[in-house]
Amino acid sequence: MKHGFVTVAAVTPKVKVGDVSANVQEICGQIKECTGEGAKVIVFPALCVTGASCGDLFFQDTLITAAQESLSQIALATRDSDALVFVGLPLRVQGKLYNAAAGVQRGLVRGITVKSFPGKLGGYDESRWFASGLKGTVNIELAGTQVPVGSKLMYSCQEMGDLTVAAVIGDDVRAAIAPDIGAGAHGATLICHLASDEALAGHFTQRRQDLCARTGSVHTGYIYANAGADESTTDQVYAGHNMILENGNVLAASDSFESEITYSEIDVSLLAHEQRMQNMGHCHHHRHAPAEPVRFSLNMEETVLTRQYPHMPFVPEDAAECDQRVQEVLSIQTYGLAKRLKHTGIKKVILGLSGGLDSTLAILVCARTFDLLGLPREQITAVTMPCFGTTGRTYRNACDLAGALGANLMEISIADAVRQHFSDIGHDEDVHDAAYENSQARERTQILMDLANQIGALHVGTGDLSELALGWATYNGDHMSMYDVNGSVPKTLMRHIVRYIADEAGAVQTESGDPENEPLAEVLNDILDTPISPELLPPSGGEISQSTEDLVGPYELHDFFLYYLFRYGFAPAKIYRIAAETFDGVYAPETILKWLKNFCSRFFSQQFKRSCMSDGPQVGTVDLSPRGSWHMPSDASSSLWLEELKAL
pLDDT for 541-563, tens place per residue? 666 555 677 788 899 999 999 99
Judge whether residue 5 has pLDDT over 70. Answer: yes
Report the range of poorest mean pLDDT among 118-127, 241-250, 549-558, 597-606: 118-127
With cut-offs at 50, 70 and 90, classify the pLDDT of residue 252: very high
Higher-pLDDT residue of 280, 443 = 443
Judge whether residue 533 has pLDDT over 80. Answer: no
Average pLDDT rounded to a whole number, residues 238-245:
86
Judge whether residue 310 has pLDDT over 90. Answer: yes
Average pLDDT rounded to a whole number, residues 96-102:
95
Q: Which of 551, 570, 549, 552 is nearest to 561 (CA)?
A: 570
Q: Under a CB-based contact definition with an 8 Å cutoff, are residues 203 and 172 in contact?
A: no
Judge whether residue 281 has pLDDT over 70. Answer: no
The count of C-alpha atoms lying within 13 angstroms of the C-alpha of 400, restricted to the half-sphere facing its C-beta, is 20
Q: Under a CB-based contact definition with an 8 Å cutoff, are residues 81 and 35 in contact?
A: yes
With cut-offs at 50, 70 and 90, classify the pLDDT of residue 536: low
HEC readout, 157-180: ECCCCCCEEEEEECCHHHHHCCCC
Strand partners for 111: 103
Q: Which of 256, 199, 227 is nearest to 23 (CA)?
A: 227
In the chain the domains, ranked by start, together with CATH numbers, are 2-296 (3.60.110.10), 319-646 (3.40.50.620)
Average pLDDT rounded to a whole number, residues 601-605:
96
Strand partners for 153: 292
Q: Which of 553, 549, 526, 539 is nearest to 357 (CA)?
A: 526
The amino acid sitting at 411 is E
For residues 333 and 162, what is the distance between their CA atoms, to the nearest angstrom? 38
Q: 373-393: per-residue pLDDT in tens?
A: 999 999 999 999 998 887 888
Model pTM above 0.85 = yes
How far is CA 34 from each of CA 10, 14, 591, rounded to the nearest angstrom? 9, 15, 36
How far is CA 454 from each of CA 344, 449, 477, 631, rounded to the nearest angstrom? 16, 9, 19, 35
Q: Which of 74, 148, 65, 165 is nearest to 113 (CA)?
A: 148
**pLDDT, position 25:** 97
**pLDDT, position 602:** 96
**pLDDT, position 552:** 85
**245-267 in b/e burial notation, b at 16+ Cβ within 10 A?**
bbbbebbbbbebeebebbbbbbb
For residues 236 and 122, what is the distance between their CA atoms, to the nearest angstrom? 6
Q: Which of 202, 203, 197 is nearest to 226 (CA)?
A: 197
Report the range of poorest mean pLDDT among 29-43, 173-187, 285-299: 173-187
**pLDDT, position 587:** 96
With cut-offs at 50, 70 and 90, classify the pLDDT of residue 286: very low
Judge whether residue 642 has pLDDT over 90. Answer: yes
| Interacting residues of 248 by C-beta distance below 8 A, sequence separation 6+ | 212, 213, 215, 216, 217
| Interacting residues of 118 by C-beta distance below 8 A, sequence separation 6+ | 99, 125, 126, 127, 130, 131, 132
| Interacting residues of 253 by C-beta distance below 8 A, sequence separation 6+ | 208, 241, 242, 243, 244, 262
**pLDDT, position 471:** 95
Q: 332-380: per-residue pLDDT in tens?
A: 999 999 999 999 999 999 999 999 999 999 999 999 999 999 999 999 9
Judge whether residue 269 has pLDDT over 50. Answer: yes
Average pLDDT rounded to a whole number, residues 493-509:
88
Q: Under a CB-based contact definition with an 8 Å cutoff, are residues 70 and 78 in contact?
A: no
With cut-offs at 50, 70 and 90, classify the pLDDT of residue 611: very high
**pLDDT, position 182:** 34
Residue 582 phi, psi dihedral angles, 5° rounding = -65, -40
CA dihedral for 330, 336, 339, 340, sign (positive or negative): negative
For residues 87 and 29, what is the distance between their CA atoms, to the nearest angstrom? 13
Q: 431-471: per-residue pLDDT in tens?
A: 999 999 999 999 999 999 999 999 999 999 999 999 999 99
**pLDDT, position 490:** 97
Judge whether residue 478 has pLDDT over 90. Answer: yes
Q: Under a CB-based contact definition with an 8 Å cutoff, are residues 418 and 439 in contact?
A: yes
**pLDDT, position 280:** 64
Strand partners for 155: 165, 294
Q: Which of 419, 396, 401, 318 is nearest to 364 (CA)?
A: 401
For residues 291 and 168, what is the distance between their CA atoms, to the nearest angstrom? 13
Q: 170-193: per-residue pLDDT in tens?
A: 876 665 554 433 334 567 999 999
